[in-house]
Structure 1
Amino acid sequence: MYLYEWLAFDGREKVDYQKLVEETEKQKTKGGKIPPITVQHSVSNTVSDNESLYEYNQTYIDVRTPNDEKRGALTLAAGSAGILLISMLAVIAMNLLETIIETHASSFPWSAYIFSFVALPVSGASLYLYFKYAFPHLRLEAFTARRLIVRFNRITRKVYLLRPKHLGGVVALDWDKADACLDPTMSEAEGIGGFVLLGWEKESHGVFDAEGQPKDDFEITFVGKPTRNASELLAFWEYIRRYMEYGPDAAPRPQRLISKFPWPWNSFKAAWRLDTGFFGKSAGWFFILINLLLLPTILIHGFFHWVSLLLCYEPRFPESIEQAGQRP
């Protein structure tokens, strides 16, 4: 579910950017906010791919976004509501059509007139409201791109965002002008469920469209699987940073890349989300018990997680980005 990206893109069109910059500067001068980390700053002595890479080669790495597991609930709720409304409208229309065919106009029952003038408009209006207000939310996880991809190309020194148009579209961003919103001094607990947030200020002139034309805009993107602690989060950013700054030798190839094929067991695994780190610990039995009690919910979530993937298309970067930095 692309909730973060949708909120960021939707809110960007309404935000007063100059006011946001002024407030940020005030917070910095008061010491109330950690200054962004640039790509030159090392934040960890170790590196970790965080099991977040789709692709790894000598030119680029493709990285996932945080919310891959958080999908399925909208497909169940909004999808079921849409099917129910469409089915209801179809049944009403078919019953009315059968009544018209089976009776003469002179003997057409008044109840059918009332039914046609009330039920059909109400159903049609409900379906209209559904597609206007509910369907756009359904597109956060169905009938859209199956995944969002952040590509770090070390040859072109660009960060490419592969997103549907309703989430901001495809853009190219200058790696050297990126700020990472991380606090190297955070506690381990503050890194639970964390992910890398990268930002490009409007004044940096580091934002370009898919054709390479500059955009007078700012950008943010969320990168990586949610981490279990601060050390894991900082090591993951360090992995990306060293790959871009020093090359593949500084950021070894992951033992396993994420498969893009929508295997059903991956959806159930995403819904299960049992941290195996609890095995062998005294409290491990408690977490296993909770997951077993929630098993029916987990199975339903996993099924609709898989359905949402099947209802999506596999996105691809434009050919110009696919070939960027490749040797002839």
Structure 2
Amino acid sequence: MRRESFAYTHYPMRFNRKNRKVYVWRTDGTVLEMPWDDIFFTLANVVEQWEVRGHKLAPDNITILETFALSYSDLLTSHDLNPATLRSSDKDFVRGHWEFIRRYMEEGPSEVSRQVQFCMPVDGRRESAKGGMHRILANFSGAPWPFLLMLSPILLLVSLFRIFAMRTSKIPQWPDHVEAACAVEPGDPYAIAGDADGNRIAVYPESAEAAGVRFTSVTGAKA
């Protein structure tokens, strides 16, 4: 009730590779705006869950003024946490998520577009009840049906509270100067949006087709 209800439906981030700035929606509704090259990224641990955090540092490059976390956290193996490890395992999705963002900012969308498997349809709108249920079930992807059946009362309760949180929270609206700085150029072949199920839809399908832009396919998804 105190954290997720009567708050915001989500807390978006924007990575603008053209002006090399990062925009982070704070919990109080204000926006943190930072140059990409000035952010100090590092790993952090919260109750055995690891995440990549970005720090805004003071001029002394020691004092942390503000921190934000990327939108993925997970367990990491001892192999991936070993400083002597030269190559991360294929289970290191925490740094894999970071690498996706880094390559987008440093190398451009053509290097990472095929990794996009779905788009959450929450930009400028609330999550639907169906979409919320999908996100909850995604946490148990691959689990046997007897196990899901046993958990169904709990999942239903969680879903109801999720719907309540969405209906009582405000939709974040970026300031006009951020919208202007991050406006999608007409005909951008990499511009995609999500439909009600999170399937990817090209904003400019003719441009995407002409540029040969494709995305990794998932079951039931539209290209």
TM-score computed with the length of structure 2 as normaliser: 0.63
In structure 2, what residue type is equivalent to 1:296?
P
* Structure holding more helix per residue: 1
What is the distance in 2 between the residues matched to 1:320 and 1:145? 20
Give the equivalent residue in structure 1 for 2:102: 241
Larger relative contact order (C-alpha < 8 A, sep ≥ 6)?
1
Offset of residue 271 of structure 1 = 3.3
Deviations 1:176-217 (A, max 9, x none): 01122139xxxxxx9x85332111212268xxxxxxxxxx97
Give the equivalent residue in structure 2 for 1:170: 31
Structure 1 gap segments, 5+ residues each: 1-73, 75-137, 184-189, 206-215
User: Conserved in 2, the CA contact under 8 Å of 1:243 and 1:250?
Assistant: yes
Match of 1:224 among 68, 71, 94: 71
Give the equivalent residue in structure 1 for 2:129: 264
Task: For residue 113 of structure 2, give the secondary structure of its aligned residue in structure 1.
Answer: coil
1:102-121 aligned within 5 A: none
Match of 2:113 among 234, 240, 252: 252
Deviations 1:87-146 (A, max 9, x none): xxxxxxxxxxxxxxxxxxxxxxxxxxxxxxxxxxxxxxxxxxxxxxxxxxx2x2122221
Task: For residue 194 of structure 1, give the secondary structure of its aligned residue in structure 2.
Answer: strand
In structure 2, what residue type is equivalent to 1:275?
F
**Percent identity for Structure 1 against Structure 2:** 24
Give the equivalent residue in structure 1 for 2:217: none
Give the equivalent residue in structure 1 for 2:152: 295
What is the distance in 2 between the residues matched to 1:141 and 1:157? 31
User: Conserved in 2, the CA contact under 8 Å of 1:262 and 1:310?
Assistant: no
Task: For residue 92 of structure 2, give the secondary structure of its aligned residue in structure 1.
Answer: helix
Task: For residue 181 of structure 2, give the secondary structure of its aligned residue in structure 1.
Answer: coil
1:322 pairs with 2:179: yes
What is the distance in 1 between the residues matched to 2:157 and 2:50? 26
Give the equivalent residue in structure 1 for 2:54: 198
Relative to structure 1, is the Cα distance of residues 204 and 291 closer, same or farther in structure 2, using a 3 angstrom cutoff? Answer: farther
What is the distance in 2 between the residues matched to 1:322 and 1:217? 28
Task: For residue 323 of structure 1, give the secondary structure of its aligned residue in structure 2.
Answer: helix
Relative to structure 1, is the Cα distance of residues 148 and 256 closer, same or farther in structure 2, using a 3 angstrom cutoff? Answer: same
Task: For residue 305 of structure 1, give the secondary structure of its aligned residue in structure 2.
Answer: helix
User: Conserved in 2, the CA contact under 8 Å of 1:269 and 1:302?
Assistant: no
What is the distance in 2 between the residues matched to 1:293 and 1:145? 31
Task: For residue 275 of structure 1, give the secondary structure of its aligned residue in structure 2.
Answer: coil
Give the equivalent residue in structure 1 for 2:5: 142
Superposition RMSD on alpha carbons, in Å?
3.1
In structure 2, what residue type is equivalent to 1:196?
V
Task: For residue 14 of structure 2, give the secondary structure of its aligned residue in structure 1.
Answer: strand
What is the distance in 1 between the residues matched to 2:51 and 2:133? 22
Offset of residue 225 of structure 1 = 3.1
What is the distance in 1 between the residues matched to 2:93 and 2:169? 31
Give the equivalent residue in structure 2 for 1:304: 161
Task: For residue 313 of structure 1, give the secondary structure of its aligned residue in structure 2.
Answer: coil
What is the distance in 2 between the residues matched to 1:292 and 1:193? 27
